[in-house]
């Protein structure tokens, strides 16, 4: 116990970027879920929010959480992960067995990626997709992802955001220890805007991991919101 010596200084942290929070109200469906499309169907809370944001012009959206970033990390770093000299693979390994040993070269490539233009991001993503499509990669579901949507999202957020998120993945040490990123990624084709949205239902709040992930996105320049969904009581 006791007070620390006067020479000690409290640890300082960079100020947090405030995240915009919005409130959405909806009705619960009788059999669970949330009512969408004038009561004709029910959805998860994320599906309800996707429907609400489609009305705001974000007509393209997907519930991705960390999957978007793991997919993009795999594709945009494919050469370092699977083609680099010394990368050790087996038939059952998701990433190189010596993933940690490749960290210095990956960090150097991320420093370069942070300077990529939107055109460079688009070019590299399309090249890898076209050359490697069909290969069995755990974090790339070729049938599920649409190249057009992936390209729109990746090129609009740009190299700086991508590199910042990927650095967080490297700090995690393993892909399955990486997480906390927003539930939804939305794209407005008319305004050409990409937005990341963390969805919170009644009584839910942000975890420490989610707060950290949101800060990585905000400080690198991404558009992020937290949507709180509350129930509208029937009268």
Please list, in sequence order, all residues whose beta carbon lies within 8 angstroms of the beta carbon of residue 174, skipping any fewer than 6 positions away: 95, 99
Q: What is the pLDDT of residue 87?
A: 46
How far is residue 77's CA from residue 229's CA, in Å, rounded to a whole number? 36
Dihedrals phi, psi of 3, to nearest 5 degrees: -85, 145
How far is residue 161's CA from residue 157's CA, in Å, rounded to a whole number? 6
Q: Is residue 164 a contact partner of residue 220, using CB atoms and an 8 Å limit? A: yes
How far is residue 69's CA from residue 19's CA, in Å, rounded to a whole number? 20
How far is residue 158's CA from residue 18's CA, in Å, rounded to a whole number? 21
pLDDT of the chain along its 235 residues, tens only?
555 455 555 544 456 788 899 999 888 877 778 888 765 677 889 999 999 999 999 999 999 999 999 999 999 988 888 765 544 444 445 565 556 667 778 888 899 999 999 999 999 999 999 998 988 887 889 999 999 999 999 999 999 999 999 999 888 776 667 788 999 999 999 999 999 999 998 888 988 889 999 999 999 999 999 999 998 876 5
How far is residue 81's CA from residue 102's CA, in Å, rounded to a whole number? 8
Q: What is the pLDDT of residue 234?
A: 62
């Amino acid at each position: 116990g006791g007070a620390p010596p006067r020479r000690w200084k409290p640890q300082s942290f960079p100020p947090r970027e405030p995240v915009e929070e919005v409130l959405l109200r909806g009705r619960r469906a009788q059999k669970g879920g949330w009512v969408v499309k004038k009561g004709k169907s029910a959805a998860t809370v994320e599906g309800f929010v996707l429907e609400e944001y489609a009305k705001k012009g974000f007509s393209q959206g997907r519930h991705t959480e960390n999957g978007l970033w793991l997919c993009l990390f795999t594709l945009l770093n494919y050469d370092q992960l699977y083609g680099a000299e010394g990368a050790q693979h087996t038939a059952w390994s998701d990433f190189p067995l010596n993933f940690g040993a490749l960290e210095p070269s990956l960090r150097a490539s991320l420093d370069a990626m942070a300077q990529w233009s939107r055109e460079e991001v688009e070019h590299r993503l399309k090249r890898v997709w076209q050359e490697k499509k069909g290969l069995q990669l755990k974090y790339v579901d070729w049938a599920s992802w649409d190249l057009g949507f992936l390209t729109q999202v990746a090129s609009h957020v740009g190299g700086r955001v991508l590199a910042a998120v990927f650095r967080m993945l490297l700090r995690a040490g393993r892909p399955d220890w990486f997480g906390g990123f927003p539930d939804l990624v939305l794209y407005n084709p008319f305004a050409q805007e990409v937005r990341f949205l963390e969805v919170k239902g009644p009584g839910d709040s942000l975890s420490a991991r989610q707060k950290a992930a949101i800060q990585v996105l905000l400080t690198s320049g991404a558009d992020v919101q937290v949507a709180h969904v509350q129930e509208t009581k029937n009268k």
